[in-house]
Structure formats: structure tokens, C-alpha cells
Amino acid sequence: MGLENYYNQIVAWLQANLLTTHAAVEWTCIAVGLAVAYVLGRFTRPKFVAWIERSVRNEVMRSIILTPTGVGTCLAFVFLAQVCIGVSVLLDYFPRWLFAASDLALAWVAIRLLTLLIPNRFLSRLLAVAIWLLALLQVSGLSTPMTAYLQGMTLSLGQTSISLYGAIKGVFLAALCLQIASAISRIMVKRIRTSTGLSPSLQVLIAKLVNIGLYTAALLLAMSSVGIDLTSFAIFSSAVGVGVGFGLKTIFSNYIAGILLLADKSIKPGDTIEVGGVFGTVRNMFARYALVLTRDGKEYLIPNEQMITNEVVNWTYSNKNIRLILPVGVAYGSDPHQVKALLEEAAAQTARILTSPAPQGRLAGFGDSCIDMELCFWISDASSGLGNVKSEVLFNIWDLFKEHGITIPFPQREIRLLNDLDGKTN
């Protein structure tokens, strides 16, 4: 008897909602709308994409314009469905199935667009499931009672009252706003770093400020949309200030130091620096540390605070040209004028050494066992290494000295054997 009753209810619902003339008209409109939207998308999308690629030269703007084309067919169906809904409303009829089809199509559009904006696959799938659930609740008519039920479950925090619906909405909006801010930040940072009118340090500084501004705006927007009074966070912000003054002092100082370094342009990406025994090229500067790549392939993550408190040698601060001095000793029987010419010739044979200022050989002094000579030369690519260019010059010096008979002295010691008092040899 119970199964028969359920069967009769299902048949009555189908006869009242589905097996009617109005329902047939709605399904016909849905089918025709899908067919027309498919035809329009199939024939117009390639032409539109080709026209945009020819007309818009900016890569970022072109990608922004072409992003909705992937859901153009669905958007066209939504437009046609809304037209049919408007006609039905004018005829005093509520088009249940047209509303359902339009809501599901919009949910699919939202999922596709969010998938493009959110790189995290887990989060994008989670948002997709949430959007489908919301769409199904809207189609089934359960969204209103479910919303009322969730709003009735409240949690009081002092003078602020937050409902379960508001908490879920806040988490959803916060995740959505943060991901959108991340996507916008990536586009803007890419645009900033390809700008030729900005220095490397200014590019990093603007990129950091853009990131901070976008993420802060995203969080504030999410909290205000839930109805949270932002002034209630005054006590919390004071507690955070105390935490920064004690436990988070080092982290906070690194962030401030990074901003100061970028603002005064003392150290910027591409500079060759030496700090704390580390010699290398600054590959990138982040909020907390600077990435320094050495010649042996090691990557040092040096905190920004050390860049300010410790002594830093910036080999390319205002000029990339640096001078190297190579000491050389020759025997006293050598002509220092000839040695000077050979040293300068050895430097001229090295490709990395600059011709202006020209290499210069000098007489540095007279040592115990040799004439002390120096070779001074300039290079403009310290990031390519110092030891390799010195080695190449030394090889050239060795070949030229050998060719012209110049000898390099080495310490020699004499051992004398003295007789003892008995006339015996030790």
C-alpha cells in the first residue's frame, strides 16, 4: 500500500509538472536554444578569435578578452533562455524548466571561469562541487529554506553575532577573492616585469606592493560581505602588534628590510654582491630573503635583515666595470720593461678583459727573491666569475714567459753541515 501511494504521487507530479503542454513548450525552447547556441559558437568563435589575435597586440589584454570565448556557447544559451523566460513572464506563466536550465548553465560557466583563474586543482574542484550544490538547491527550490535554517544557527562573539550561513559564505568568498587576487596579481606582475621603463628593483617593489594591496583588499572584501564589523578587530590588531614586537620581530624586520632595499636601490636583481663570505649574483628578491646564485651553482637564501645590518660589497652598484689586480713575480735577471709589455699582451689576448680602460702592467716592488710585478685589468661581467678570467690570464702569461725566456723564481734553501767540537761531522 505504501509503494502504491509513492507511485501515485510520482505520477501526479509528472503529470502536473512535466507531462503538460507548457512543459513541452519549455523543453522545446531549451532544445532550440542549445542548437542555436551551438551553431553560433561553432561558426562565430573561430572568426572572433582570429580577429582579436590580429587586432589586439597586448598579450595580457588579448588573453583577458579571449578567456570568455571558451564559454561563449553556454552564455549564448543563457541569453536565449532569458529571452524565453521574459516572454513567458509576460504571458503570466512561470517557466520552471527554463529557469532550471538557465541556472545550471550559469553554474557551468562559473565553474569554467573559476577553473581558469584558480591554479590549485583541489580548491577548484571543491568550488565546482559547491557551485553545483548551490545550483541544484536553487533548481529544486530548497535554497530558501536551507538558507533560513543556516541563518538560524548563530554564534555570538561579544557584540558580534555570526550565523553558520555567514561563516560558510565568508570562507567561500575569502577563498574565491584570494584566488582572484592571486590571478590578477600574476597578470599584473608579469606585465610589470616585462616593462622596460622600470628598473629591476622598482619592478620587484611595485610587484610586492601590488600583491599586498590585492590580498588585503580581498580579505577585507570577504569580511565586510559577511557583515563583520572591521572596527572590532582593533584589539586584535593591538595584540598582533605586540606579537610582532616580540615573537615576530625577525620576520617583520626582514619584510621591512626587503622594502627598504628595493626602495633605496642599494641591492637589486642582477647585482653581483659579496656578503658574509658569499660571492654571487642576486637572482631575485622576495619579501623575506634574497636569492643569491654562486658560480658553483649553490643558491643562498640570505635574509634581508643581514643585507642591511652586515657589510655588503656590491660589485655592480653604480658601474658594472670592476678592476682586478694579478700579482706576478719574475727573476732579477729579467727586464721589467719587457715583463710589463708581456703582461699587457697576455691581458689583451683575453676576450673578457676590457680594452678601455686598457690593461696596465706595473712594477710593485723588489722582493727578497723576485721582482714584484702587477697586472691591472678591468672586466664588466663579474657575474660570469672572477677565478676563470684570472686563470685564463695566468695561462697566457705562462705561455708568453716561456716563449721569451722569462723565469719565475721560487724559494731555494741551503743546508750547511758544520763540524762539532770533536771534529766530527754531524
| DSSP secondary structure string for all residues of 148-206 | HHHHHSEEEETTEEEEHHHHHHHHHHHHHHHHHHHHHHHHHHHHHHT-TTS-HHHHHHH
* pLDDT mean over 93-112: 79
Element (H, E) at 365: strand 360-366
Question: How does the average pLDDT of the chain come out, rounded?
Answer: 77
Q: How far apart are CA 375 and CA 353, in angstroms?
A: 12
Query: Of the given ranges (278-287, 340-349, 354-363), which has the lowest mean pLDDT?
Result: 278-287
Task: Write the pLDDT tens digit of every residue in 298-348.
Answer: 889 988 888 888 888 888 887 788 889 999 999 988 899 999 999 999 999
How many Å is the Cα radius of gyration of the chain?
38
Confidence of residue 161 (pLDDT cuts 50, 70, 90): low
Task: Write the pLDDT tens digit of every residue in 173-210.
Answer: 777 777 777 777 777 777 777 766 666 666 776 777 77
Number of H helices, E strands in the chain: 14, 10
* pLDDT mean over 46-74: 70
Q: Which residue has the higher pLDDT, 11 or 388?
A: 388
Confidence of residue 7 (pLDDT cuts 50, 70, 90): low
User: What pLDDT sits at residue 67?
Assistant: 65
Q: Is the pLDDT of residue 395 over 90?
A: yes
Q: Is the pLDDT of residue 232 over 60?
A: no
Q: Which residue has the higher pLDDT, 385 or 247?
A: 385
Q: Is the pLDDT of residue 376 over 90?
A: yes
Q: Pick from 257, 234, 253, 232: which is nearest to 244 by CA?
A: 253
Q: Is the pLDDT of residue 28 over 80?
A: yes
User: What pLDDT sits at residue 312?
Assistant: 87
Which residue type occupies 35?
A
User: What pLDDT sits at residue 394?
Assistant: 93
In order of 12, 98, 136, the CA distances from 16 in angstroms are 6, 16, 21
* pLDDT mean over 40-45: 77
